Structure 1
Amino acid sequence: MLFALICTDKPDSLDLRMEVRPDHVAYLNTLNENGVLKLAGPFLDENEKPDGSLVVIEAGSREEAHRIAADDPYSKADLFASVDIRPYNWVFNKPGE
């Protein structure tokens, strides 16, 4: 099942985001290599600076999706003010279909 991780950064946390970004990207690369990551990218504020993330993963359960989200270096660095994990149904422009 697919899950959307909808993450909102804490205010004034761009420096922390950029500091932790290499570890975050490495983590996403590992998820991608294992077929878990389906899509990912940052949300942008009015100045086009990252202020959150959208990550879509495939996981066997909501609990597994929570574990994957918690293992993200951004989560471990306490970057996010909130993380909403929701089941996701990819309908349009799904690769391979």
Structure 2
Amino acid sequence: MLYIVYCQDKPTHLSKRLESLDAHKAYLEGNPIQVLISGPLVDESDHETMKGSFFLVEADSLEEVRVFNCNDPFYKAGIWQRIDIQPFNKRVDNMSSVSY
């Protein structure tokens, strides 16, 4: 099953996010769950300032996704103000033609 994890940072926690960024990246590189797409949410004024996180993951259960989220260094550092985890049914996938 696919799940979307949408996390909004606390407005005053950018410096805390930056301090935890290397630990967060190392956690994701450890493949704690099948992460299909992930990246920071960014401020619309400059398209650079990070203000949250987005993940599209594949997991056997919602509980597995919750455990993944709770073990993230960003979660442990108290960076996220709001976390929304939702099951997701993919209908269209145009990503195979996109190159980065």
TM-score, length-scaled by structure 2: 0.85
TM-score by length of 1: 0.87
Q: Which residue does 2:66 correspond to in 1?
A: 66
- How many angstroms apart in 1 are the aligned matches of 2:33 and 2:24? 17
Q: Quick one: which amino acid aligns to residue 57 of structure 1?
A: V
Structure 2 unaligned segments of length 5 or more: list them.
Answer: none
Alignment of 1:12-31 (within 5 A): 12-31=12-31
Percent pairwise identity: 37
CA drift at 1:89: 2.2
Q: In structure 2, what is the equivalent of residue 78 of structure 1?
A: 78
- Size of the alignment, in residue pairs? 93
Runs (5+) with no aligned partner, structure 1: none
Q: Give the aligned residue type for 2:58.
A: E
Deviation at 1:57, TM superposition (A): 1.1
Q: Which residue is equivalent to 2:39?
A: 41
